[in-house]
Chain A
Amino acid sequence: MATMSSCFEVCSLPSSSRLLGIEPMCGGENLIVTTEKSVRVYRVRDQKLLHTWSIRQGQQLTSPTLFNPRTEEFIVLQNKKTICLWTKDLEHLHKCTKVTVKKPISHLKLLPDADPIIVFDGGSPWWLPCITAAPDTAVLDLLDIEEELVWCDVISRGGGVLVVCVSKEAKTDIQSSSYTAYLCEMLPGNQDTPDYQTLQLTPPDNTSTLLACCVAEHLLSIWSCGSVCSHSLDSSLAAAEDGGVVVPGNVLHKLDLPKGGVSSVSVVMLGPDHVGLAMEGKDSVQIWDTKFWTLQADRSLQDVPGTGVDKLYRYGDHMIVARQTSVAALSFSTQPTSLAAVMGKQTAEAAALVPQEWGGPVKKRRHLSAESSGLLQKLLDPHQTKALPAFDQAFFQLKSDSEVLGSPAAACQLVQRVIGQQTFWARSALTELVGTGLLSGSSSPGLFERVEKENDLELWRSCLRHVKEIPEASLVARVRYLLGLDESLLEAESADVPMEMAEQDVPACPLSAAKAALLDQVLYRSYSGPFLQDSLAELQFTQVMVFLRYLHYKLTSAPAPSQGHEGRVVSVDQVVDWLCALVDAHFTQLVLTPESRDVLLGLREVVRQRLQFYQGLNDLDALLAQLKDKSPPLVTKKQDESLYSIRTIQIF
């Protein structure tokens, strides 16, 4: 996991000279910004310019300025062959100590605990003190003539420093280039040209070029086709001087590069498992997890002034972003990666927790006592409670602990256990659990199906009453079950809905009283239209017809919307909603089937009558509105705006 937070501009760069590099001073607190003409030191946290030096006309700097904490000196390369050394008290740069060497130097590198290292154009690394002591020492080239040094970096390994240089050899006949990595191990105090090993870096496909590298334990390289490869820097694999061992890099990941390809990519190590990545053209910085190659954080830099991202550096807990016109500091944080953290899986502790009471003084979250949790485990474990009596007994014991039954998680798990249990049916336990009212439609799937399988109507009714938030699909499934229910299973109950004799226009109830009562319970539940319609499409057509007739009957007999709330009776607007959804869902079938014709005509008749009634109401409403306008308004003294009015006033 990684996050990037605040980003602020550290300094702005002049567009006249090219940025050479940004190096840290005092461990990331200050930054040394080197351009071709000047060296400036900024303090990151308040963007204050601490020191600045510039060189004379006609000369230019060729490497980023380093600060050697051991000797407290600044080191920079001038015109590739002159090394300048000075302390921070120096006023003018041309007064610094200069050491000139014969061969051009390409890089200056520094690690915290070692001396600075000079890497010559030919690829050979030397300690700086050796060169400054004896500037005329003969320097041998490591690279061949056609090769050129493209990238160089140092890491500390063992007691010494490993210098990794990647060179590119341009082959004119084939369009690709071949890349070689030179590894030189430098030990402190070593005065000579060190030994080196070579590694051949193969591009993942033939036409790609190396875009960027960074090194930690492995050499990570990004190629223009988007692949990220890792090459092992194990010295045992590398061969000595001349024979290059071809080490195919493991293609770790394919980056999503924009269509035209990018010309430059900047990558920096942010820790053992994370790298920061920036692509040219996109104004954003990404943090990738190197273990699983997942994008952990992506931050756009549009709120910070400046354009583009040229290079990324990492010092301390800030990523320094060198843009075309400014330098920005972006603070980031990374946590160690693990699969669980990446995938986001919940830990198993949650089930054993008891919900907190919010009413009284804040109590600590209570965990179940050991005994109760043991019982719970026993109940949940199919092996421990194999038979119904054992289950019931354990349940009875558990019931005494009110905390368990107060926990929705525990209740859900128990319900799942009961439902899943095919060998016995723990009805009493289930009744108790349902009665607690802690279950909801989504947390206990399959409850209704299981109950229906047992054809237990009382429990079914109890479930319907106590389970909260039953989804529409489940409601429709209940309707389907009811419509297909055998009459014999229903007990002869006192009907909530009185049976009416079929009169001429009023349709008769197609279902038995008991079934109607049960169906009312289902229809009474809350629903939302679109989902209902989708679910109703699942019903079979015969059932649809029965349902339609029942709803038609309900339409004529159901009470008005404002009544009937307390009695849990289905009101007219609910019936209308179900009718709409049902007719919509099975529209084509209803149109095509001849037997639906009478029901539909009857429905149409009822609806037409109701509409007439509402039209009459509309006319009455217009008359009443006119009456309201005509009567004089009740105007208080303050609101009276008229020029002349007569009113009665009572003084005493």
Chain B
Amino acid sequence: MGEFQLHDVRFFRYMPKAIHSIAHETTNRVAVSRSDGSIEIYSINDNWYQEKIICGDAGRSVEAMVWVGQRLFSAGLHGDIIEYGMTKLIPKYAVDSYGGAVWCMAVNNTQSSIAVGSEDGCVRLFEVTEEELSYSRAFKKQEERILSLSWHESGEVLVTGSCDNIRVWDVATGLPTLRIKVERLVRTRETIVWCVAILRDFTIVSGDSLGKTRFWNGKHGTLIQSHHCHKADVLSMCVSKDETLVWTAGVDPKVIRFERVAGKDEGSRATWVRHNVANRHTHDVRALVMTGEYVVSGGVDMTLVAMPVGKLGKPSRNILPFPQRRLVHVAQTARRLLFQYQTRLELWQLGNTTAVSGMPDERLPITQQPVSLLDLKTKNMKQIVCSAVSGCGTWVAYGDVQHVRLFHLPKEEGVKVLQRVRCLPIDLQPAHHMTFTHDASGLVIATNQGAVQFLRVDAVHPILVHTFLPPKSVVHPTTISALTVSSDSQWIAAAHLDCSVHVYNIKARKHQCSLPKHPSPVSAMTFHPTEPWLMVVHASQQFFEYDVSESRYTDWSRNVQRQGLHREWLKRSEVVTQVAYHPANPTQILLQDQRMFCVIDKDKKLPKPGSQFYSRERLMRLDPAVREETRHAFAVCRGYRALLHLSFLEDGAELVAVERPIKAVTDKLPPTLSQKRFGT
């Protein structure tokens, strides 16, 4: 028992994109924008669960983002300021910035207006109204482009940084009150002030392309202090809430912290002292944001790093750049894999081996190599939001921000033509998640309006059977974060971002029940193969098994909750992205996150909270007698970076693990700043 043939698949060449900017929202969420224009929203409270992904577009670039309350605005080099709908996850509208490409954007303290710095050298103010953003006025034009922008706390003063100078503006009149000239190192090369901030006491902090962090007196325009700590440009900066700490980072991937030290005597000036240096990144750091407890940084090396600010407390986190939603779908009967890239899909046939091994961890000789069956590119290079493949491997569907597309791959030999199913029903809404039923007769779609639609799949005439909506008590349905359908095609479960889980009965075409609300959102769900049980895993590492027909928790789940989960399990920093039952032996449940997978055996005893929690490798190395004693329900296999997908194949004797080694990704990055090291 417990022996599987594992297919290690590493030819899913997914390349995540570099981080361009980060914005922090007051409800402890962080919006991270990537170089392809997509924006990911993480919820810090929920273990950095990736709640939403707003897909990018070919013509859209994001240079700066701001949160105004719960609303997200972004602006980029295409010259538009875009507001996004947080439910539908598409741009609501775009407002022209009237000045060409937008380099920087900032919102004032009262969240009433946004200042936008653009290519033509003008700072423009936009009023934030209930419905939309309206243009207010423009400041006096200056010659160079405005590269960085910061509001004073009072909202009356603004400071901008551009090439060779820093200007302090009076917001009421729109005129510059002070101009600080930043010297050039080489006469022909201008010094660019990449980031600027103004503190309460009118101290201006600036980071420029010479690598210097400078502190200026904002009232008189004199230099207080200059620190040359970076070896190359300083690209980003953030200031703590109490304005005693400043972090800077740039092309030189160090994040340096400056602290304000009060002068010794009364009345003497405070100095800014360079503090510690954190070396978490390998490439340029383009964005640096201070949330209350963390300093979040991201850049060309694609990883989001959160460093805690206080001395004690949480360790720093590296969030892997892969999306937490499913990118790989398995057609279990047909042994096919569907890879979802940003703008295309690939369908592969898995390889085979006829050898039967005796030794554990032995590599078997491959008799048949994997074969690529399909390479599908989207129209106009639109980004794919979600995709699905049926169990028999003949139906492939994907959805982008506007449409759902369905394709049929006939099974007959010799006919390798993909047929697109043209007449899809008009009511079909754009999808966030989709999945085929087990017998491929239906396609379940989680729409971007928070509803669930069931489509009967047919090559010629697909019909929208029903649209399931959450019960009336929910006024505004939130985005659906997870969707699953049972294998007997009877139940559909949809989990929303407001932590509610609704179960629908397909045959009866109605809402069956809602699970009790848990404070943390659902990250993965699955139905039992035979029983009407729903296994739900939350972002806080808690999991429950719910009997939907009887609307109560199963006995085993109650047992687990009563005993409590082991500390090691709860301490894990990765969110479980997938859960599945063993098809042949449903007492075994497989949970997978990006670094490990775990098989829980319901028959075995649960680990006691105080005992040792071994991983499988360590367990295997122990003495057999000791192993029997310490063996418990959780069998954890570590050592993956990053594991994108793991699931059973049809008979349950084979597992498919799709891994994207992080080293393969980082090897393709552009070269970093060369630094001289001792001895080389």
Contact = CB atoms under 8 A, between A and B. Distances in A.
Interface of A: 632, 635, 637-638, 640, 642-652
A412 B631 CA distance: 74
A370 to B, nearest CB: 61
A652 B362 contact: no
Contacts of B7: 644-646
A452 B340 CA distance: 95
Nearest to A649: B6
Nearest to A635: B363
A635 B364 CA distance: 12
Given A638-B639, A644-B9, A645-B8, A650 B3 contact: yes
A646 B360 CA distance: 12
B360 A650 contact: yes
Contact of B4 (A637, A643, A649): A649
A24 to B, nearest CB: 46
B416 interface: no
B477 interface: no
B128 to A, nearest CB: 50
Contact of B2 (A642, A647, A652): A652
B369 interface: yes
Contacts of A647: 5-6, 8, 361-364
A639 to B, nearest CB: 11
Interface stretch (B71-79, B102-110, B351-359): B351-359
Contacts of A651: 2-4, 599, 616, 635, 637
B418 interface: no
B308 interface: no
> For A637, A646, A647, A648, which residue has the most chain B Cβ atoms within 10 angstroms?
A646
27 contacts: A635-B363, A640-B8, A642-B8, A643-B11, A644-B8, A644-B9, A644-B10, A644-B351, A646-B8, A647-B5, A647-B362, A647-B363, A648-B4, A648-B6, A648-B359, A648-B360, A648-B361, A648-B364, A649-B4, A649-B655, A650-B2, A650-B360, A650-B361, A650-B620, A652-B1, A652-B599, A652-B631
Interface in B654-674: 655
Interface string B1-37: 1111111111100000000000000000000000000
A644 B601 CA distance: 28
A43 B655 CA distance: 85
Nearest to B4: A649
A643 B364 contact: no
Given A632-B365, A648-B359, A652-B631, 19 more contacts: A640-B363, A642-B8, A644-B351, A646-B5, A646-B351, A646-B353, A647-B8, A647-B361, A648-B3, A648-B5, A648-B357, A648-B360, A649-B4, A650-B2, A650-B4, A650-B360, A650-B361, A651-B2, A651-B3
Contacts of A640: 8, 363
Contacts of A638: 639
A648 to B, nearest CB: 5
B91 interface: no
B370 A644 contact: yes
The 8 closest A-B pairs by CB, nearest first: A652-B2, A651-B2, A643-B11, A650-B360, A649-B6, A648-B357, A647-B363, A645-B8
Contacts, number: 80
Contacts of A650: 2-4, 360-361, 620
Nearest to A632: B363
Interface string B131-145: 000000000000000
Question: Which one of B2, B361, B370, B637 has the highest number of Cβ atoms from chain A below 10 Å of its Cβ?
Answer: B361
A650 B653 CA distance: 11
A581 B10 CA distance: 63
A651 B599 CA distance: 8
B366 interface: yes
Given A651-B616, A652-B601, A646 B6 contact: yes
Contacts of B366: 644-646
Contacts of A632: 363, 365
Nearest to B617: A637
Contact of A649 (B361, B369, B370, B631): B361
A649 to B, nearest CB: 4
A650 B619 CA distance: 11
Interface of B: 1-11, 351, 353, 357, 359-366, 369-370, 599, 601, 604, 616, 620, 631, 635, 637, 639, 655
A649 B657 CA distance: 12
A637 B2 contact: no
A171 to B, nearest CB: 70
Contacts of B370: 644
A461 to B, nearest CB: 58
A649 B360 contact: yes
A643 B363 CA distance: 13
Contacts of A645: 7-8, 363, 366
A143 B365 CA distance: 112
B573 to A, nearest CB: 21
Contacts of B362: 647-648
Contacts of A637: 361, 639
A652 B635 contact: yes
Contacts of B365: 632
A638 B7 CA distance: 15
Contacts of B3: 648-651
B154 to A, nearest CB: 57
A496 B372 CA distance: 77
A645 B616 CA distance: 20
B613 to A, nearest CB: 15
Nearest to A648: B357
Given A635-B363, A651-B599, A643 B10 contact: yes
A644 B4 contact: no
A379 to B, nearest CB: 62
Nearest to B366: A646
B369 A644 contact: yes
B51 to A, nearest CB: 32
A644 B657 CA distance: 10
Q: Considering residues B8, B362, B616, which has the most beta carbons from chain A within 10 angstroms of its beta carbon?
A: B8
A8 to B, nearest CB: 29
A652 B599 CA distance: 9
Nearest to A645: B8
B614 to A, nearest CB: 12
B679 to A, nearest CB: 26
Nearest to A640: B8
Nearest to A636: B361
A644 to B, nearest CB: 6
A642 B363 CA distance: 11
A646 B348 CA distance: 16
A642 B637 CA distance: 20
Contacts of B357: 648
Contacts of A648: 3-6, 357, 359-362, 364
Contacts of A635: 363
Contacts of B359: 648
Nearest to B619: A652
A651 B635 CA distance: 7
A635 B362 CA distance: 9
Contacts of B369: 644
A651 B631 CA distance: 11
A637 B363 CA distance: 10
Residue among B1, B9, B363 with most chain A CB within 10 A: B363
A643 B4 CA distance: 19
A635 B363 CA distance: 8
Contacts of B601: 652
Contacts of B5: 646-649
A226 to B, nearest CB: 52
Contacts of A646: 5-8, 351, 353, 363-364, 366
Nearest to A651: B2
Nearest to B8: A645
A151 B11 CA distance: 94
A640 B362 CA distance: 12
A652 B628 CA distance: 10
Contacts of B8: 640, 642, 644-647
